[in-house]
């Protein structure tokens, strides 16, 4: 990991096991359009937002209550010139108990400011992690991309999530 990799951290009142359970169900906080298994070592799933972004994720590390790592392959991001720039990156969730709370540190290893999609991708990740995933862990309800959503609808929802998360954290 480098200092430039995109990172977001949330702190929740639920247990590390509850955070782990939420992370391993990305349909409930990232996108309803995910296909495949998302819980065990070696599971492979596909995030597919038709016409916008498609990536295959393989779970390469799974430590219940502590860590989840997805390795990214077969990426197509239609909004940028270098459409496969996520290939070979890793999406890492580190979970620790700290001062009676659970901290989830999300790092997209390889997603750096040098990437053409950095601004758009980091803004989206920020809204999914600091709002949708946090809400799923705390209340049992996230706000993932819904099946059939257009890019315009999701960009508006991302902005609302980010604004709401900022208001909650400040």
pLDDT digits (tens, 9 = 90+) for 91-136: 999 999 999 999 999 999 999 999 998 998 898 899 899 999 999 9
Rounded CA separation 26/11 (Å): 18
Mean pLDDT score, 51-70: 96
Name the pTM for this structure.
0.88
Mean pLDDT score, 36-51: 95
Taking only the tens place, the pLDDT of each residue in 11-43 is 999 999 999 999 999 999 999 999 999 999 999
**Tokens linked to 77:** 């991001």
Q: What domains appear along the chain, each with residue ranges and CATH number?
A: 6-169 (3.30.530.20)
Tell me which residue has tokens 């960009």. Answer: 155
Taking only the tens place, the pLDDT of each residue in 126-163 is 989 999 999 999 999 999 988 876 667 666 666 655 55
Backbone angles phi, psi at 130, to 5 degrees: -75, -10
**Looking at the predicted structure, is the pLDDT value of residue 79 above 50?**
yes
**Looking at the predicted structure, is the pLDDT value of residue 54 above 70?**
yes
**Looking at the predicted structure, is the pLDDT value of residue 51 above 90?**
no
Rounded CA separation 22/166 (Å): 21
pLDDT at 167: 45
The 3-state secondary structure of the chain reads CCCCCEEEEEEECCCHHHHHHHHCCHHHCCECCEEECCCCCCCEEEEEECCCEEEEEEEEEEECCCEEEEEEEEEEECCCCCCCCCCCCEEEEEEEEECCEEEEEEEEECCCCCCCCHHHHHHHHHHHHHHHHHHHHHHCCCCCECCCCCHHHHHHHHHHHHHHHHHHHC
């Amino acid at each position: 990991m480098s200092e430039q990799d995109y990172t977001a951290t949330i702190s929740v009142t639920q247990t590390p096991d509850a955070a782990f359970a939420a992370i391993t169900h990305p349909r409930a906080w990232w996108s309803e359009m995910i296909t495949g298994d998302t819980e065990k070592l070696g599971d492979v799933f596909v995030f597919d937002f038709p016409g916008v972004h498609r990536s295959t994720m393989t779970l390469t590390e799974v430590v219940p209550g502590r860590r989840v790592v997805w390795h990214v392959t077969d990426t197509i991001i239609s909004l940028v010139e270098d459409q496969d720039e996520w290939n070979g990156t890793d999406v890492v969730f580190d979970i620790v108990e700290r001062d009676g709370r659970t901290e989830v540190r999300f790092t997209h290893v390889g997603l750096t400011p040098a990437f053409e999609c950095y601004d758009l991708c980091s803004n989206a990740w920020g809204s999914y992690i600091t709002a949708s995933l946090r809400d799923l862990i705390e209340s049992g309800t996230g706000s993932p991309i819904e099946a059939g959503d257009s890019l315009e609808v999701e960009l508006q929802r991302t902005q609302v999530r980010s604004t709401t998360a900022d208001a909650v954290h400040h």
